[in-house]
Structure 1
């Protein structure tokens, strides 16, 4: 055994798995029940979010856009009839797996394969008897890319498996959060509030967007926050019409609007807030529009409750903004699920929108968390008034999680 082997296979760092053993066992049991209901014998998981949900596995690098010689390889195989999973990974990540997972069955790719081998995976699973029947893969995930996905699918089929899409199985499973997850979401909200307060304190004439970005990132990191799944926008002036822009060296000016969109992150669970600031008191017609838009959130506070029907929420938004004459000024109104996320996204699987029938018959059940976005174009193309609030639903109550006001916030 050479020195590299000694390090890889004998290093025993402190385990930092983010989830308790009971939590992970419960997740695996619920997943196997969903697989049985869908008549899926094995699920092969490569999306970072789902690997994390099932095992705690997390890394800084997932080989998403790497050279073809370094394919995405780490994965988890789950069989409907077995109460453990198999973690596949490179020997180069042997120590990483010991830090973040509680895996009891980890298979390392051969050294000559470096980071992945479809043939090795298929051979190991075939010897376990896990490739009999229907195998599901996550066709809706960016990881692995099409080349690797086809290679895996062909290797499974060559062993006699029938391959189908299983993208939604774990996405749906993750919709209802456990009490442990709810606690993580509340901590993410605490961190997000610290970040927004830091951004508010940093905004002012002559301050660069990146300066504000740096202050809020530093504040959240010091509060125990982690890197979010999306690079957080800090946008000023008419740049606020491009909500998915990036902070740059542009310096803010008196009289401009400033938009801050961030997520607090704790153990990869995200809570999203956004607020719009005005450097100096805005014009009267701007103040009128933003005040009327902000008042909607008080109506929301009045109906927010566990098991709130999505249709009721959507109708409230539709009726109010039409009544106020704001509907035609909207950018987008709606929201989406909050929870586990890794770069390059923090947008969850469940989406709701007053104009969309999809999910309108659902309810915000206890254990769910969503954000909600108000986007309205201000007079004379000055930018967008943009707010995001996140809601958390528990058994006996529902929460609005932010501490900043919804009205346009004036700074000098």
Structure 2
């Protein structure tokens, strides 16, 4: 069964069609698995083969089109009736002379959806140029346009039901981070700590279990903390080194990420000094994240503190977050950086992450939060500091 009530999906579809009308679209082909889930509830590890959800103004319900063997997964996880969940023949999978979107185009044409203006998601991980070519070849009477972020922007403001699920994900994130900190010791292999993090993420709590997150646990250590996106090796943790941990709890595909840093030994003064700037700057950014503020104004609050503390950071300090599948838990819409004038609205959810990476060391501390009247409300209740184990 779907993760939310049917009424939740109906409202999402209504808002999607409203935006389609504003963009002059008759039909929307959604291939991002997060957007497919958002509109129908469909949830399966099938995104490695072409699939899509089709929303047409002329039809009440979307179509969910997946590989034939995955059709029962659509019946099991989506709110759609059986006649709206389709499976294409397996001969189209990874074939050099045909493509699944050849079959999909023929089906849309048969349904009278092969004309008018069709939007496709042309900048998502799981929609290839070949898929676009197949649609255009099979539907020559249609005009195509890029609608890559149409559904993503609708996802930006969360419902109460979504916020409740993200709060559950936060409980899993807290437990996973606590497990990681308890496990990291000099001489302990990095892979053994990663295994314990994974177990905590999947086990969840006594009340509810966790999903697989869209990111693997990131835990660069030693000189590896000079860059953010390293995972683990089978080497042991060493004394007098830092480790950065970035991980998330995931519940019904909704993420609550968190980054913290740990030092085994006595932290150098440079790391301690940067910690102070990061903590003050992160709080300033959270305080600025109120309805009506822009993303760049939130980043400017951090930048003011950073300049006073002599800390520079070129990259963004945050992004929209929530529902997603590998390889990313971000929603690809707003970013906390100069030039992004997106106006924050109540119940938008973002991950503010202050990562400072130098030539041979780094530190990260973050908060996942919702926009609230008096500023950001973090989902997690976890100490915000550089953790030290001596």
TM-score (norm 1): 0.86
Question: How far 1:119 sits from its partner (Å)?
Answer: 3.7
Unaligned runs of 5+ in 1: 1-15, 64-71
Alignment partners' CA distance in 2, 1:282 and 1:396: 35
Report the counterpart of residue 85 of structure 1 in structure 2: 62
Report the counterpart of residue 155 of structure 2 in structure 1: 174
Question: How far 1:302 sits from its partner (Å)?
Answer: 4.2
Aligned CA distance change for structure 1 residues 398 and 375 (closer, same or farther; 3 Å) = closer
1:3-402 equivalence runs, <5 A: 16-63=1-48, 72-104=49-81, 105-110=84-89, 112-113=91-92, 117-157=100-140, 160-223=141-204, 224-327=209-312, 330=313, 332-354=315-337, 356-357=338-339, 359-360=340-341, 362-377=342-357, 381-394=359-372, 398-402=376-380
RMSD over equivalenced CA pairs, Å:
2.1
Contact 2:201–2:212 at 8 Å: present in 1 too? no
Contact 1:176–1:368 at 8 Å: present in 2 too? yes
Question: How far 1:348 sits from its partner (Å)?
Answer: 1.9
Alignment partners' CA distance in 2, 1:334 and 1:207: 32
Greater gyration radius: 1
SS in structure 2 at match of 1:234: coil
Alignment partners' CA distance in 2, 1:251 and 1:134: 57
TM-score (norm 2): 0.91
Unaligned runs of 5+ in 2: none
Bigger mean CA deviation after superposition, 160-169 or 308-317: 308-317
Where does structure 1 differ by over 6 angstroms across 4 or more consecutive aligned residues? none
Contact 1:276–1:385 at 8 Å: present in 2 too? yes
Alignment partners' CA distance in 1, 2:106 and 2:90: 16
Question: How far 1:61 sits from its partner (Å)?
Answer: 3.2
Alignment partners' CA distance in 2, 1:292 and 1:318: 10
Alignment partners' CA distance in 2, 1:351 and 1:132: 33
Alignment partners' CA distance in 1, 2:287 and 2:333: 23
SS in structure 1 at match of 2:24: coil
Alignment partners' CA distance in 2, 1:111 and 1:205: 51
Contact 1:331–1:376 at 8 Å: present in 2 too? no
Question: How far 1:102 sits from its partner (Å)?
Answer: 1.8
Question: How far 1:243 sits from its partner (Å)?
Answer: 1.0
Alignment partners' CA distance in 2, 1:396 and 1:287: 30
Aligned CA distance change for structure 1 residues 142 and 78 (closer, same or farther; 3 Å) = same
Question: How far 1:308 sits from its partner (Å)?
Answer: 3.7
Question: How far 1:333 sits from its partner (Å)?
Answer: 4.4
Contact 2:225–2:357 at 8 Å: present in 1 too? no
Aligned residues between the structures? 380
Contact 2:218–2:232 at 8 Å: present in 1 too? yes
Question: How far 1:272 sits from its partner (Å)?
Answer: 1.1
Question: How far 1:394 sits from its partner (Å)?
Answer: 4.3
SS in structure 2 at match of 1:250: coil
> Deviations for 1:98-148, whole angstroms, at most 9, x for unmatched residues?
111122212332465468643432232223221221111111112232223
Alignment partners' CA distance in 2, 1:370 and 1:315: 16
> Deviations for 1:17-45, whole angstroms, at most 9, x for unmatched residues?
11210001111111111101111000111
Question: How far 1:365 sits from its partner (Å)?
Answer: 0.9
